[in-house]
A and B are shown apart, each in its own frame.
Chain A
């Protein structure tokens, strides 16, 4: 059973069309939720960390929010260079050091 579920699996947006990506988790005792961006053939690149419900972080066109059971990555007025796979990862449960990744949302922004 997946501990972290991301939706949708794939998303196509026209340039300027805002949308949100979802990350829901079942891991108990959340210690941190992380968002990463991954370009094809490269390692994931860190975007945000959220630690508690109600927390929000922003960076350029991206804004991450956290509730008790899910997180959203909002993309405002996206550009083609925002095309990538966005990964959510959760740290929690009984074992320190374990990190659970979702399968990612592949975002394509076309001009």
Chain B
């Protein structure tokens, strides 16, 4: 089954404790992207990747890191999480940047 998977689905952590949210797709897609969704603000793009080893900033990259070492995986790294990073995070992938994106199920992160 074609899908985008994210792990963990739920995470509660404390300020400053480094964490990684994994994202994997099995569709051989070139393009992958991370979003955060907050009430009243909608979906905002954090980082995206046009292909392996090619990443770029979206609207709200501060406090986040990404890497794309292989085509199927695109992890999101929070080196020192803060409470304002409490949000619902979605990973997405598409054939390339001009096509529709397929979204993962989301990761709900709470930073206390």
A residues in contact (CB < 8 Å) with B: 31-32, 34, 36, 41-46, 49, 87, 89, 91, 95-104
Contact indicator A97/B97 (Cβ below 8 Å): yes
Please, how many angstroms separate the alpha-carbon atoms of A102 and B45 in the complex?
A: 12
Q: Which residue of B lies closest to A102 (CB)?
A: B42
Given contacts A49-B100, A91-B98, A97-B31, contact A104 B42 (CB under 8 A): yes
Beyond A45-B103, A97-B56, whether A103 also contacts B40 by CB under 8 A is yes
Interface residues of B in 49-104 (CB under 8 A from A): 50, 56, 58, 90, 92, 97-104
Residue numbers in A under 8 Å from B40 (CB-CB) = 103
Q: Among B33, B48, B97, B99, which residue has its beta carbon within 8 angstroms of that of A49?
A: B99
Say which residue of A43, A96, A100 sits within 8 Å of B103 (CB atoms).
A43
Cβ contacts under 8 Å, A34 to chain B: 100-101
Residue of A nearest to B100 (CB): A46
Q: State in angstroms the CA–CA spacing of A75 and B101 once bound together.
A: 23
Which residues does chain B contribute within 8 Å of A91, judged by CB atoms?
97-98
- Indicate which residue in B4, B101, B105 contacts A99 across the interface (CB closer than 8 Å): B101
Assembly CA distance A41 to B10 (angstroms): 12
Apart from the given pairs A36-B103, A43-B103, A101-B43, 14 other A-B contacts in the complex at a CB distance below 8 Å:
A41-B106, A43-B104, A44-B43, A44-B90, A91-B97, A97-B33, A97-B97, A98-B58, A99-B33, A99-B48, A102-B42, A103-B41, A103-B42, A104-B42
From A32, A44, A95, residue with most partner B Cβ within 10 Å: A44
User: Contacts A98-B48, A99-B33, A101-B42: A43 and B97 contacting too (C-beta < 8 A)?
Assistant: no
A42 partner, pick from B42, B50, B92, B106, beta carbons under 8 A = B106
